Amino acid sequence: MNNTLRPALLRDPVHLLAFGFGAGLAPYAPGTFGTLIAVPIVWCLSQLGWVYHLSFALIACVGGIYICGASARKLGVHDHRAIVWDEIAGYTVTMLAAPAEPAWLIAGFVLFRFFDVVKPSPIREADHSLHGGLGIILDDILAGLFAGAILLAVRLLL
């Protein structure tokens, strides 16, 4: 992506959100930087309570279908690497299963990134078989569910 386009792209509210407020424009590992943006969001939501966190997660996932799809259409590239709203939504889902304390935030980050990068079945199938905004975000929601399930299991065992 041409550097001269970056400021213009971020002026578009769809791209601003899809690119994780600019995190997706990182030259390396934009998905990781997108997930890092989600960490303080989750922490702030946790201060408001679980219902607010759940509400944001639902809005991020459902709204993300539009945000990711619209950004991809405007860019003319399905699931462009700069689109990281899906990572924000996925990490938010992960952290529904754990308190927003430093160790849990880090564990959730590592687990979510693992599942998002490795994409075991059925995450891989969702990533390859669906198109548009749903195809962009569903694999990250599934990665968030997988990571969240592990966090929940650990919490129940402790």
Q: Give the closest residue to 25 by CA, choosing from 4, 51, 54.
A: 4
Q: What are the residues whose beta carbons fall under 8 Å from the beta carbon of 26, sequence distance 6 or more?
A: 32, 33
**How high is the pLDDT of residue 129?**
86
Cα separation, 14 vs 158, whole angstroms: 41
pLDDT of residue 7: 61
Q: What pLDDT is attached to residue 8?
A: 77
Closest to 46 (Cα-Cα) out of 102, 110, 111: 102
pLDDT tens, residue order, the chain (158 aa): 444 346 678 999 999 999 999 999 999 999 999 999 999 999 999 999 999 999 999 999 999 999 999 999 999 998 899 999 999 999 999 999 999 999 999 999 999 999 999 999 999 888 888 889 999 999 999 999 999 999 999 999 99
pTM over the 0.85 mark: yes
Find the Cα–Cα–Cα–Cα dihedral 111, 117, 119, 124, rounded to 10°.
Answer: 150
pLDDT in the model for residue 126: 85
In this prediction, residue 5 carries a pLDDT of: 43
Q: What is the pLDDT of residue 128?
A: 83
Domain spans of the chain? 50-158
